[in-house]
Amino acid sequence: MNELPSYEQLGLFYLGKQRSAGGDAESSAPLLFRSKHLTTHGVIIGMTGSGKTGLGIALIEEAIMDDIPVIVIDPKGDMANLLLSFPDLSAADFKPWVDEAEAARKELSVEQLAARTAAQWRDGLAAWGQGAARLARFKQKSAITVYTPGSTTGVPVSVVSGFAAPDDATMADGDAINALVGGQVSGLLHLIGVNSDPLTGREHILVSSIVLHYWRRGEDVSLERLIGAIADPPFDRVGVFGMAQFYPQNERMKLAMALNNLIAGPSFAPWLAGEPLDPQHLLYGADGKPRTAIFSIAHLSEEQRMFFVTLLLNRMIGWMRRQPGTSSLRALIYMDEIFGYFPPVGNPPSKQPMLLLLKQARAYGIGVALATQNPVDLDYKGLANIGGWFIGRLQTSQDRDRVLDGLTGAGMVRAEAATMLADMKGRHFLLNSAHLDTPLIFETRWVMSYLKGPISLTEIGALMQGHVSPEPPPEASDFSGGPAATSPILDHPPPLNEAIEQRFRFSPAPPEEMVFAPWLVGRASVRFFKERAAIDEIKQVELRLYLDEVSADFNWREAKASDVLATAQPGSGPSGARFYTLPAQLSTLQSLSSVNKTFADYLYQHERLELWHAPALKLEGKPGESEAAFRVRISEVLREKKEAEAQKLLSRFARRMQTLEKRRETAFARVDKERQDVSLKTTDTLISFGSAVLGAFLGHKTISSATMTRTAGGLRKAGQLSREKADVRRAEEQLARVEDDISALLVEQDQAIAELGRRFDPATVAVETTSVKPRRRDIFDLTMCLVWDMVHTGKETERNRIAEDV
């Protein structure tokens, strides 16, 4: 039977077919690699032309088919080929992507080469049991975005957030926080050409200390804030030395200026635009469905590539540590060429975060797969943490010896491995896995994506032309609900009782050009407690309400979320500034205690902790968890349930199949026996008839009794032969029935697997919201003050125009 068995099974990656050690023997057995085995990571090693890129793309295709999100780091530009999958396999689909130079060399038109390529892909996929239905499913599941950091030609990605503060659990892990800050600082310094050792370099020590200072306070560090802190550090000493002695100001200014020039230059502008470099956003859509994010970095300089890879790996580590543990494959990180990023000697910024991922990601269900042409590109410690080796054709004996050193260290017999690697063909790989009893050789399947070769930045732009970036949440405007054009402006602050606290927010400007608008700002701590659901959450709530001069009361329903108190300064305001008038009601108040009460009443009546809830799974959302993040958790819970059920289901079918296989062996044996009986009876009958005929023709004029006896015996044997042939037909019919039963069982198994997929489909899980209401005593630490916010600087006519826009 040359037909491929059913390979579309839960949790299994169809990577190719098993082959003999010589690579010649055909086999119908597909190589089905269990996806969870990638949590022990994998490495693909092979020279140019070995099929390394095809195997990497096959891995990613299977992850997409299995609803596993993928992060792809693409230094060469090959991985964007994943977008070139064409369910119709028409020549028109291939035409824009075939090589015109190749067509000219082959003396073909572009149309002819496209038609030939389409036919080649159609035949290749069919030979590997992949039809139009599988291509259509792949296209339907593919949610692939090609990001081009540092360029707006494709989909840009923003690194403006700088050093985002990690969660409390990461901050409590000393090793993790040191690796995180060290990697990100090294990447940033590398970008400006500063090679500073994390242990001895004062640049690295200063910047790391600044970042850690703010992180310990739970604050993010933007690049702008970092530059200001380098010039004016938030601490006076580093170790036992004063700042002036450790790193004099004039030298710190050079470092600050280098960073400032970096972000101020036009070439850095694309790094500040685009989608956020947030792993949750990159791996999952707003609906919780998995995504594939390809970061094409071939267009970047060496320093820029190192900066971005380091930043991305550290972001992945931060995201990873916020996930619960799992034994399933939650996400895959694939890097198409590791050369220079993870060397055995040297310590580039990307090395430590990569090593940390290889050591710790397994517990979180995150697999790392690396590809390289040369085994000397990989760190020895890293190799010890990789459980799956895919070894293709290697260029030199030294390369094979280097791989053999690693394989024998992984428990494989050197002589056996050397024999297997000696005559490796293209697209053939030796798989040595910690999860396999013995190594094996396989040939990679035909990939569903057209392997065009490296895709240029311009071509990526064309592929991403229809991509719609999710809109960022609208930022609160300083002028929202602000003053009307006709609001009177005073030359001094309106008089208020001294018990009413006033604060000011403004940027540097001549006092005569400052105009301040009044806001009532309230802040409180609100506790949400629900013992049954183990919820005990304290939320800081800050609202601001614009005060028009005609406001009759303080309606907190018109207030907006705010964060102005953190930057508003106490005092009397700049001399010479102008002020909008206040409502008369505020001018008569002795204090803001009554306003505090209305604010507390409003919070009690309207502030709620909204939580997502999946009743069917009895799964509760976490405080602050978005719907997309909650749906991702639903998907992970269902995946683990589905894999457990699939194992039970496949075990049941395996037992039934084993019974049918035994029946088929018995039926085969019976058919063979009956056919042998027919053969013997046929020979015996022919002999009997032959004897009778010969007796009649050898001179006997009359038929003797012996001849009659032989004839009668021949007739009896002919009857027996007929019965034997009937037995053969019955045996063959029985064998056919068993074969039909096996085919029916395979169909039943496929239907059961499909039903399992429908049963555990995350899209069918109903999601509701529940809310937790605060108790009155759980609203505390109330602050209420008047904040004067500078709304505009400039001439009177410009102030009026701005006010009209508001």
Tell me: pLDDT of 689 over 70: no
Sorted by sequence, the CB contacts under 8 Å of residue 158 that are 6+ apart come out as 271, 272, 273, 274, 275, 276, 277
Measured CA to CA in angstroms, residue 796 lies from 485, 504, 513, 803 at distances of 11, 21, 9, 11
* Whole-angstrom distance, CA of residue 251 vs CA of residue 274: 34
Strands (E), 469-615: 489-490, 502-505, 514-530, 535-546, 560-561, 569-570, 578-580, 609-614
Across 487-496, 515-524, 553-562, least confident range: 487-496
Backbone angles phi, psi at 31, to 5 degrees: -90, 110
- DSSP lists the bridge partners of residue 391 as 45, 430
Whole-number pLDDT of residue 445 = 96
* Structure token digits, residue 767: 């999601």
* Whole-angstrom distance, CA of residue 480 vs CA of residue 610: 25
Buried b (16+ CB within 10 A) or exposed e, 461-477: bebbeeeeeeeeeeeee
pLDDT bucket at 282, cuts 50 / 70 / 90: very high
266 burial (CB, 10 Å; 0-12 / 13-18 / 19+) is exposed
Whole-number pLDDT of residue 647 = 86
- DSSP-derived secondary structure letter, 576: T
* Structure token digits, residue 633: 């958790």
Q: Nearest-5° angle of CA 720, CA 724, CA 730?
A: 145
* Whole-angstrom distance, CA of residue 72 vs CA of residue 79: 8
Question: Which residue, 135, 148, 91, 82, is CA-closest to 116?
Answer: 91
User: What is the mean pLDDT of the segment spanning 281-304?
Assistant: 92
Tell me: pLDDT of 711 over 90: no
* Whole-angstrom distance, CA of residue 61 vs CA of residue 72: 12
User: What is the mean pLDDT of the segment spanning 445-467?
Assistant: 92
User: Strand pairing of 502-505 and 569-570?
Assistant: antiparallel
Tell me: pLDDT of 217 over 70: yes
Tell me: pLDDT of 42 over 90: yes
pLDDT bucket at 382, cuts 50 / 70 / 90: confident
Whole-number pLDDT of residue 449 = 97
pLDDT digits (tens, 9 = 90+) for 463-491: 998 765 554 444 433 444 455 444 567 77
Neighbours of 504 (CB within 10 A): 20
Tell me: pLDDT of 235 over 70: yes
* Whole-angstrom distance, CA of residue 463 vs CA of residue 467: 8
Whole-number pLDDT of residue 681 = 59
pLDDT digits (tens, 9 = 90+) for 638-655: 988 888 888 888 889 889
**Domain spans in the chain, listed from the N-terminal domain onward:** 161-273, 489-608+773-805, 632-763
pLDDT bucket at 578, cuts 50 / 70 / 90: confident
Question: Which residue, 294, 309, 336, is CA-closest to 146?
Answer: 294
Tell me: pLDDT of 548 over 70: yes
Range 632-763: architecture per CATH: Orthogonal Bundle (1.10)
User: What is the mean pLDDT of the segment spanning 24-31?
Assistant: 69
* Whole-angstrom distance, CA of residue 134 vs CA of residue 138: 6
Measured CA to CA in angstroms, residue 391 lies from 408, 422, 672, 699 at distances of 13, 11, 44, 80
| Beta carbons of 354 and 375 less than 8 angstroms apart | no
Whole-number pLDDT of residue 309 = 94
Highest mean pLDDT among 21-35, 336-350, 408-422: 336-350
* Whole-angstrom distance, CA of residue 96 vs CA of residue 632: 37
| Beta carbons of 318 and 155 less than 8 angstroms apart | no
- DSSP-derived secondary structure letter, 155: B
| Beta carbons of 110 and 95 less than 8 angstroms apart | yes
